[in-house]
Amino acid sequence: MNDIIAVSSEGPTLDSPVDPRFGRAAGFVIVEPSGTTRYLDNGASQAMAHGAGIETARRIAEAGATVLLTGVVGPKAASALATAKLTVSEGYEGLTVGQAVERYRAGKQEG
């Protein structure tokens, strides 16, 4: 799999909880196909009064992500993510970042 996966996260590691919010998530753990990770802080978008989801979509697309795993994406952010050609998968709240990535990869291999 060559997907670069961005996971909305409450912290910078694979053991961090998935942040159920997209646009106002604390940050994103970016998981490379090799398994290496990096953290994209989302503090600037958290502070925005309007347009946080659209700005966040732009930032994770610029980070090279091809897949987004998160809790819920609003309609404006969903449109921005579609424009950026990111695959979006929702409903990962309650998991750690690592569990979300494993679940996504397992489902992708079944299909």
Considering the four listed CATH numbers 3.40.30.10, 3.40.50.300, 3.30.420.130, 3.30.160.110, the one that applies to the domain covering 1-71 is 3.30.420.130
pTM here? 0.91
pLDDT, tens only, 74-102: 898 999 999 999 999 999 999 999 999 99
- For residues 7 and 29, the answer to whether their CB atoms sit within 8 Å is yes
Rg of the chain on CA atoms, in Å:
12
CA atoms of 7 and 28, how far apart (whole Å) = 5
Taking the chain, what is the end-to-end CA distance rounded to the nearest angstrom? 13
Q: What is the mean pLDDT of residues 3-32?
A: 95
User: Where do the structural domains in the chain lie, given as residue ranges?
Assistant: 1-71
Query: In degrees, to the nearest 5, what angle opens at C-alpha 49 toward C-alphas 46 and 54?
Result: 70
CA atoms of 53 and 96, how far apart (whole Å) = 22
